[in-house]
């Protein structure tokens, strides 16, 4: 749980850094491109220094096309944060992002899609999401 909290702390850091980079480059999309390029290099190094077994061509060919779209959603997320951070501020932006994540997570868990274990929507889970949304409202108002 602590690791998840620490990873969560990287989101506003990344958004702020990328937003500032976009301002200095004069183009927010270049900041996203730089972020993903540096990320690609970083993951490349991580892959090289860790034992990695590469899948066969037949195994790669057997993977459904939609499973490859995660990178698109990552690019959409990072680019959106670059564009939204200067307009909304870190707290409002991330509270809205968290609200969206909570909504999608409730749906994914309820139906057990995308490999998540099924956790049916209960009153308490719903109330927890409502409290998160209430927090978003309070953050935006004050």
pLDDT one-digit tens code per residue, 51-85? 889 999 999 999 999 999 999 999 999 999 999 99
> Looking at the predicted structure, is the pLDDT value of residue 131 above 80?
yes
* Structural domain range at position 137: 90-142
Total domains present in the chain = 2
Query: What is the pTM (predicted TM-score) of this model?
Result: 0.81
Task: Say whether both 13 and 28 belong to one domain.
Answer: yes
Task: Say whether both 22 and 77 belong to one domain.
Answer: yes
> If pLDDT is split at 50, 70 and 90, which confidence band does 112 have?
very high
Task: Say whether both 19 and 45 belong to one domain.
Answer: yes
Task: Say whether both 12 and 52 belong to one domain.
Answer: yes
- Report helix angle 70-88 to 2-25, nearest 10: 70
Q: How far apart are CA 19 and CA 114, in angstroms?
A: 31
- Helix, strand or coil, per DSSP, at residue 78: helix
Task: Say whether both 81 and 125 belong to one domain.
Answer: no
Which pLDDT score, from 0 to 100, does residue 96 have? 86
Task: Say whether both 81 and 122 belong to one domain.
Answer: no
Task: Say whether both 112 and 78 belong to one domain.
Answer: no
Task: Say whether both 126 and 104 belong to one domain.
Answer: yes
> Looking at the predicted structure, is the pLDDT value of residue 142 above 80?
no
């Amino acid at each position: 749980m602590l690791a998840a909290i620490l990873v969560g702390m990287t989101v506003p850091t990344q958004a702020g850094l990328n937003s500032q980079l976009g301002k200095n480059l004069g183009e927010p999309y270049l900041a996203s491109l730089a972020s993903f390029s540096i990320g690609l290099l970083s993951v490349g190094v991580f892959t090289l220094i860790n034992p990695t077994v590469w899948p066969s061509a037949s195994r790669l060919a057997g993977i459904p096309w939609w499973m490859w779209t995660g990178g698109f959603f990552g690019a959409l997320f990072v680019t959106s944060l670059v564009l939204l951070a200067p307009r909304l501020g870190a707290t409002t932006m991330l509270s809205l992002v968290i609200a969206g994540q909570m909504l999608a997570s409730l749906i994914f868990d309820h139906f057990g899609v995308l490999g998540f274990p099924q956790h049916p929507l209960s009153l308490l889970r719903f109330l927890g999401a409502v409290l998160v949304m209430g927090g978003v409202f309070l953050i935006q108002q004050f």
